[in-house]
Amino acid sequence: MAKRTFTGAAPTAAKILGILVLLFWSLGPIYWALATSLTRPDELVSKTAHFWPAHVTLEHYARLFGGSSVSQGNTVQSVWPEFSAALVNSLVTSLGATIVTVAIAAFGAYAFVRLNFPGRNMLFVLVVATMAIPAYTVMIPLYRLMIQLGLIDTYVGITLIYTSAFLPLALWLMRTVYQAMPISLEEAAWLDGAGRVYTLLRIVLPLAAPGLIAAALLTFLNAWGQFIVPLVFSPTLATKPLTVLIPEFVTRNYVDYGLMNAAGILAIIPPIVLVVFLNRYLVSGLMAGAQK
């Protein structure tokens, strides 16, 4: 009898195993944070480990939204004022940095592609090369500069720092998008009497929308997850984001694991929503830039 060969079985099993490992690596911490956020404080310090809380509670989320709880006979006050302020700060600085970065990248990258001026390529290389500079090497000079300008603990200061950090990546992405676009459409508009600015706003930018959305999404996600920059430049709740506030739930005598994980679960909702609804634009924008 002829022997049967299963050449595709091993690759398929390896692929499934790889996917399972990737899912566990990515979703495991999120699941554990969710389970911890739903666990009562007394069960969090028990010696027996539970993969799901024996008694589900929402008291940690209640504290975040204005309620209070009783732990070990002591009334634990709500952290809603701090949490709401940090949430607003995260939204303002992330959205502000995204708008400014994408606006500058949209016009700046077009200039690098379509305009001829001395040192164009060298200037672009120098701007993109700043991405290789470690952030901590410029932290002290940047801090002194921000003090001189009076921008410490201000929305403007944080937005400018984020913009300077994320603009090179957005410029590189938009430059590749513009390079992949045929110039014939712009030339046809110029022959009809349209100016360069009108052509950019009414023809080029609509066609480059996937690239713009991809640049905006990458900028927002990077700004939302920042920790070192706001830790140094946002010392008070005036501009302190969630990434800095959540670790402060650790006190000298007590680590509020439930509250920290509940805040963490809420903090990842905006990025998840953006990625879910704009993922196709991110992929198409990156692919548009990769076609050149």
Range 181-209 average pLDDT: 88
**Residue in 261, 114, 288, 90 with CA at minimum distance from that of residue 200:** 114
Q: CB of 245 within 8 A of CB of 86? A: yes
What per-residue confidence (pLDDT) applies to 49?
72
11 or 146: which leads in pLDDT: 146
Would you say residue 288 has pLDDT above 70? no
When the pLDDT of each residue in the chain is averaged and rounded to a whole number, the result is 87
| Cβ-based neighbours of 215, under 8 Å, separated by 6 or more | 101, 102, 105, 169, 170, 173, 174, 285
pLDDT digits (tens, 9 = 90+) for 25-72: 988 999 999 999 999 888 887 777 778 888 899 989 998 998 665 555
How far apart are alpha carbons 121 and 242 in whole angstroms?
A: 39
Alpha-carbon distance 286 to 280, whole Å?
10
Q: Provide the pLDDT for residue 158.
A: 96
Longest dimension (CA), the chain: 86
Residue 4 is predicted with a pLDDT of: 54
Least confident residue range of 46-60, 228-242, 256-270: 46-60
Q: Tell me the residue type at 31.
A: Y
Where do the domains of the chain lie? 9-57, 80-290
In the predicted model, is pLDDT for residue 264 greater than 90? yes
Between 46 and 237, where is the model more confident? 237
Tell me the pLDDT band of 175, cut-offs 50, 70 and 90: very high
Main-chain phi, psi angles of 250, to 5 degrees: -85, 115
Can you give the pLDDT at residue 193? 84
The more confident residue out of 189 and 48 is 189
Task: Please give the Cα distance from 21 to 220 (Å, whole number).
Answer: 28
Give residue 68's pLDDT. 63
DSSP state, residue 135: G
The pLDDT of 122-126, averaged and rounded, is 93
Report the SS3 class of residue 70: strand
Query: Where residue 1 falls among pLDDT bands split at 50, 70, 90?
Result: very low
- pLDDT band of 88, cuts 50, 70, 90: very high
Encoded amino acid at 279, one letter: N
Q: Amino acid letter at 58?
A: L
Which whole number is the average pLDDT over 100-122? Answer: 93
Query: What integer is the mean pLDDT of 64-82?
Result: 71
What's residue 75's pLDDT?
Answer: 55
Beta-carbon count within 10 A of 203 CB? 16
Alpha-helix runs per DSSP H in the chain? 9-37, 41-44, 59-64, 80-114, 120-129, 139-149, 155-180, 184-191, 196-199, 205-207, 209-224, 228-233, 242-245, 257-267, 269-290
What number is the average pLDDT over the span 94-106? 96
In the structure encoding, which two tokens stand for residue 243, read together?
């990434």
pLDDT bin (cut points 50, 70, 90) of residue 142 is: very high
CATH code for 80-290? 1.10.3720.10
d(CA 201, CA 199): 6
Helix (H) or strand (E) holding 74: strand 74-76
Burial of 82 (C-beta count, 10 Å sphere; 0-12/13-18/19+) = middle
DSSP output for 194-210: --HHHHIIIIIHHHTHH
Strand-pairing partners, residue 42, are: none
Count of CB atoms situated within 10 Å of the CB of 123 = 13
232 pLDDT higher than 60: yes
In a 3-state reduction of DSSP, which class is residue 131?
helix
